[in-house]
């Protein structure tokens, strides 16, 4: 959600480390005499500590004679005096109340002032005797209780619970079915500002029905339009697994949520992780996150059920290098980029929006509307413990059951990006003969082949008798790197000798294989089965550095044993790294052999899994030839990255072969870019990463002088005077922000090119909702097109406020979701191009690229390769950018248009009304591939 910057507090008082920014609470005047009950509401909770601190920090407002209607009363001051009772209230009293709520003390008052007699504090109508052994503020106390009356009546809501069960052994547990909890309190007495059309009131929260209810209603005080509800934890939580059982609201304009948040009101950067169900469509859930205020990570997930009809579980596993969201115990989406770092509060809220009808739909004022929550848990250990070989059909938080038998393996994934998997793994090392090979075959024509299945090491030898230092908690020994039967084994084991090092003394041994020779640009590949165990890495990489009298250049494929359903990609150039990218494999890499490779070229590195490209980097690419290496090792001092190593030995990674080919994966020249469609000639039908496409001379036969692929699946060559599959839009307007009507006279083929023009308005056409002042030109195909390579030859308009474009589009007018892929040149700066895409209406993927030329001065080629797992954009045949997240799926029409903008001056600059302005196009091609 883009608008969380308005989530603020009206008070940012933080008197103690145990309680962050305190804010106004609503209090009930009433019963007195209960020790600790500073707000006189006949119970002791965190709000009593807060009113004490507020009265001390702002006595004119919250003190005994304060102006606020909920100020501390004389009775409240007497009740709240629980530390050195008899000397009046102080911050120590607030701290004592918190200690009581956390069960670090058993009774109130805690102590008495000198000369003051001990009294017997009044008790509530329900008595409870409790013992506990926990003292950490984040821990849920383990209690043995004898209660004379139920904490809360049983729920009679009869709402089905279709989610997964609560993890009763989590680090922190708030079970609202049992009543109130010291972990949470209700926001009360302030608003967040736009787009939240409500004030937060404690009275909108309730536990009376046997669950927590958060209700939207009219604001009976008249201060705000509506009253909303929010629950938040007193403490802050960091990395771990967060989960709730929730029933959401179904109503336009309303949000039901579960999230973590911290921000400037707590003297922190704005870090946040969101689960938001938009009432306009409760069959979907929106995931998002913010890191230091940077958001735009929205992802809409189809639930497959109506979240307003039953309780379901929603969770997320927040780790330093990824966030994985879960629905009913199943992982459904993972993000890996720019992950939040700052501990935050756990929160839930329900609220109506204002000014965000495009996002939530317009709120119709229906009240009351209620979201319900059964429980919230936080597990510091994350979504699962991978110390043992695990069965991922268990709950994310459950501990695996350890046995001594070997089970069979199944993998049901078919997609690369964010595909959840169901796998069963083993508790004993899989014997070599039982390992399936699910990868692509070895390239027998490669430049260098080391086929360990033959029993030969090829160009490799074993590292022996040294240690790399921190963080490698091992010495390398050749007995840990041996060819056994038809494979290479690299093992983590006990330390074999008394080798020692004064700077770093590892406790274990590891296995490493490396080549004798150095290798440079080309395609590298191996067949590997990785280790599954916390704290361990299985790898394939190139490396050179100071030990070779070279700069530190390295390209990595690393599988972290803590989660073998993912692979980490990275590289270093002259010692500069921080290029980590975590990829979901869609399978468990510890169960079978799969192929892992990378294509290293002067201006990019492309990584491949089982012959399919999964990621590409284009910035600051390594230059120095290195050795090809593989190793298996345990880590030390890197628990936040690998998790703590538990000392299990032996642990073995297996490799069948390694190949290197001294040419790019697509067969082109190392220093030149081919047309993206050239490798797709009919002479080549295989998709292996190492195989060669047609030769350059064959491809050139199909290229006209202007670069057009005349043998593409669809060719519309305007230089012939024909429109091909295109026709002109005519007689309508798109609405805001297009300040034009489309007319066919603005889209005409003239001589050897198509002209799309911005001009004056030609007719008296009008629209009650949007009445543009100008005319624009648009060409679109009759047919719909899907995955493949799209390209045009275009010369753009240079003028503030105007756009020249090439794109695919489909949407509601076609009875489809809004899917779109864009190339847009903004007339305010024609030396740049803006790339973007939308998937089911979710955009915010803008990327601005410097062209290195003025696109208004000459024809240039602009294209994009749209595939199920990525979009790659090209300028003059050279790839300039690639996107992998939430790729569009729906076939669309190919379109170009030229138009002036209105209400978007911050994006396009103001249009000065100059006409005519013309964009020129020579041709458009589409090649299915």
The set of catalytic residues is: 272, 276
Q: How much is the CA Rg of the chain, to the nearest whole Å?
A: 32
Count of CB atoms situated within 10 Å of the CB of 73: 20
User: Cα separation of 814 and 379, whole Å?
Assistant: 46
**Contact (Cβ atoms closer than 8 angstroms) between residue 859 and residue 590:** no
Using N-to-C axis directions, what is the helix angle for 91-101 and 46-57, rounded to 10°?
A: 170
Side-chain half-sphere of 482: how many Cα atoms within 13 Å?
8
Q: Residue 844, by phi and psi: left (phi above 0), alpha (psi -120 to 50) or beta?
A: left
Phi-psi region of 564 (alpha: psi -120 to 50; beta: other; left: phi over 0): alpha
Spatial separation of the C-alpha atoms in residues 311 and 124, rounded to whole Å? 33
Where helices occur in 294-380 by DSSP H, the ranges are 357-360
890 CB neighbour count, 10 Å cutoff: 18
- Cα separation of 185 and 424, whole Å? 41
Q: Please tell me the distance from the alpha carbon of residue 711 to that of residue 723, in angstroms, as a whole number.
A: 17
Q: Taking the CB of residue 337, how many other CB atoms lie within 10 A of it?
A: 13
Residue 593, token pair as written in the block: 């052999």
Q: What is the DSSP letter of 548?
A: G
Terminal-to-terminal C-alpha distance of the chain? 36
Q: Cα separation of 816 and 814, whole Å?
A: 5
Three-state SS at 177: helix
Contacts of range 30-33, beta carbons closer than 8 Å, 24 or more positions apart:
32/75, 32/76, 32/78, 32/79, 33/75, 33/79, 33/121, 33/122
User: What are the structure tokens assigned to 824, written together?
Assistant: 């847009």
* Alpha-carbon torsion, ordered 55, 56, 60, 64, to 10 deg: 50
Q: Are 53 and 62 in contact (CB under 8 A)?
A: no
Cβ atoms < 10 Å from Cβ of 157:
13
Between CA 389 and CA 429 the distance in angstroms is 10
User: 348: which strand partners?
Assistant: 231
Q: Are 375 and 411 in contact (CB under 8 A)?
A: no
User: Minimal CA–CA distance to 386: which of 536, 509, 489?
Assistant: 536
**Calpha distance 176→161 (Å, rounded):** 14
Q: For the chain, give percent helix, strand, coil, nearest 5.
A: 10, 40, 55
φ, ψ dihedrals at 77, nearest 5°: -65, -40
- The partner residues of 550 in beta bridges, in order of sequence, read none
Enumerate the β-bridge partners of residue 824. 805, 834
Strand ranges in 455-565 using DSSP code E only, listed in sequence order: 460-462, 474-476, 481-484, 487-494, 508-515, 522-529, 536-544, 553-560
Backbone angles phi, psi at 356, to 5 degrees: -130, 40
Query: Which residue in 173, 184, 217, 211 sits closest to 198, CA to CA?
Result: 217
- Residue 91: helix, strand or coil by DSSP? helix
Question: Where does 20-132 have alpha helices with state H?
Answer: 46-57, 59-62, 74-80, 91-101
Distance CA(302)–CA(281), nearest Å, equals 10
Cα atoms found within 13 Å of the Cα of residue 848, Cβ hemisphere only: 6
């Amino acid at each position: 959600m883009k608008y969380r910057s308005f989530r603020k507090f009206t008070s940012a008082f933080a008197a103690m480390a145990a309680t962050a920014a305190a804010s106004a609470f609503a209090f009930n005047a009433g019963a007195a005499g209960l020790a600790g009950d500073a707000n006189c509401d006949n119970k002791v909770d965190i709000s009593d500590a807060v009113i004490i601190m507020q009265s001390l920090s702002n006595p004119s407002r919250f003190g005994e004679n304060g102006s606020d209607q909920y100020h501390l009363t004389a009775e409240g001051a007497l009740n709240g005096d629980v530390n050195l009772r008899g000397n009046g209230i102080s911050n120590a009293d607030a701290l004592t109340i918190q200690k009581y709520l956390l069960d670090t003390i058993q009774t109130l008052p805690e102590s008495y002032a000198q000369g003051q007699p001990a009294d017997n504090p009044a008790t509530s109508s329900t008595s409870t005797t409790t013992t506990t052994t926990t003292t950490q503020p984040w821990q849920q106390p383990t209690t043995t209780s004898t209660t004379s009356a139920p904490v809360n009546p049983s729920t009679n809501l009869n709402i089905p619970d279709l989610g997964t069960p609560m993890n009763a052994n989590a680090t922190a547990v708030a079970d609202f079915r049992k009543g109130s909890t010291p972990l949470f309190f209700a926001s009360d007495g302030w608003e967040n500002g736009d787009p939240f059309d409500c004030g937060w009131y404690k009275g909108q929260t309730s536990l009376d029905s046997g669950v927590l209810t958060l209700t939207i209603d009219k604001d009976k005080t008249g201060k705000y339009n509506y009253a909303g509800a929010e629950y938040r934890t007193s403490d802050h939580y960091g990395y771990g697994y967060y989960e709730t059982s929730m029933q959401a609201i179904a109503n336009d304009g309303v949000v039901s949520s579960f999230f973590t948040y911290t921000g400037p009101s707590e003297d922190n950067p704005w870090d946040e992780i969101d689960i938001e169900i938009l009432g306009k469509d409760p069959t979907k859930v929106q995931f998002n996150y913010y890191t230091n205020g940077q958001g735009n990570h929205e992802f809409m997930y189809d639930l497959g059920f109506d979240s307003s009809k039953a309780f379901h579980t929603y969770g997320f596993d927040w780790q330093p290098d990824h966030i994985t969201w879960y629905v009913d115990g199943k992982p459904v989406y993972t993000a890996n980029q720019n992950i939040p770092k700052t501990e935050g509060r756990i929160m839930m809220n329900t609220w109506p929006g204002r000014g965000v009808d495009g996002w939530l739909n317009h709120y119709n004022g229906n009240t009351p509307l209620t979201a319900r929550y059964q429980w919230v848990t936080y597990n510091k250990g994350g979504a699962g413990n991978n110390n043992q070989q695990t069965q991922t059909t268990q709950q994310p938080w459950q501990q695996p059951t350890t046995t001594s038998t070997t089970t069979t393996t199944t993998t049901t994934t078919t997609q690369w990006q964010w595909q959840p998997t169901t796998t069963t793994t083993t508790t004993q090392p899989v014997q070599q003969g039982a390992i399936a090979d699910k990868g692509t075959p070895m390239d027998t024509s490669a430049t260098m082949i080391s086929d360990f299945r033959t029993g030969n090491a090829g160009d490799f030898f074993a590292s022996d008798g040294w240690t790399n230092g921190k963080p490698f908690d091992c010495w390398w020994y050749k007995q840990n790197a041996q060819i056994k039967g038809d494979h290479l084994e690299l093992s983590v084991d006990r330390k074999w000798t008394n080798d020692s090092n004064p700077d770093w003394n590892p406790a274990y041994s590891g296995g490493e294989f490396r080549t004798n020779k150095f290798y440079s640009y080309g395609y590298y590949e191996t067949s590997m089965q990785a280790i599954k165990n916390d704290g361990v890495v299985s790898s394939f990489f190139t490396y050179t550095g100071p030990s070779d009298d070279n700069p530190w250049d390295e390209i990595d494929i690393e599988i972290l044993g803590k989660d073998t359903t993912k692979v980490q990609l990275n590289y270093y150039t002259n010692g500069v790294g921080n290029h980590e990218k975590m990829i979901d494999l869609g399978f468990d890499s510890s169960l079978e052999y799969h192929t892992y490779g990378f294509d290293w070229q002067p201006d990019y590195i492309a990584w491949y899994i089982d012959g399919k490209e999964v990621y590409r980097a284009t910035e600051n690419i390594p230059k120095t030839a290195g050795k090809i290496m593989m190793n298996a090792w345990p880590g030390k001092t890197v628990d936040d990255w690998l998790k703590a190593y538990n000392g299990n030995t032996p642990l073995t990674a297996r490799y069948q072969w390694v190949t290197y080919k001294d040419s790019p994966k697509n067969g082109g020249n190392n220093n030149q870019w081919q047309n993206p469609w050239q490798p797709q000639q009919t002479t080549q039908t295989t998709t292996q990463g190492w195989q060669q496409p047609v030769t350059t001379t064959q491809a050139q036969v199909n290229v006209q002088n202007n670069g057009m692929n005349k043998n593409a699946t669809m060719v519309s060559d305007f230089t012939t005077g024909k429109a091909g599959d295109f026709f002109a839009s005519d007689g309508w307007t798109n609405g805001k922000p297009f300040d034009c009507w489309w007319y066919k006279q603005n889209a005409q083929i003239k001589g050897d090119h198509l002209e799309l023009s911005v001009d004056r308005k030609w007719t008296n056409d009008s629209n009650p909702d949007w009445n543009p002042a100008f005319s624009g030109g648009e060409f679109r195909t009759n047919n719909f097109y899907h995955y493949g390579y799209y390209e045009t030859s275009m010369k753009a308009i240079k003028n503030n406020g105007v756009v020249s474009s090439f794109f695919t589009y489909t949407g509601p007018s076609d009875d489809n979701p809004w899917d779109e892929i864009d190339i847009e040149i903004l007339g305010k700066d024609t030396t740049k191009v803006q790339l973007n895409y939308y998937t089911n209406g979710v955009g915010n993927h803008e990327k601005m690229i410097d062209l290195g030329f003025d696109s208004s001065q000459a024809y240039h080629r602009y294209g994009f390769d749209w595939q199920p797992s990525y979009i790659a954009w090209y300028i003059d045949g050279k790839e300039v950018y690639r996107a992998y997240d939430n790729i569009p799926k729906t076939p669309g029409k190919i379109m170009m248009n030229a138009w002036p903008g209105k209400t978007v001056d911050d994006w396009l600059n103001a249009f000065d009304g100059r006409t005519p302005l013309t964009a020129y196009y020579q041709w458009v091609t589409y090649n299915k591939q």
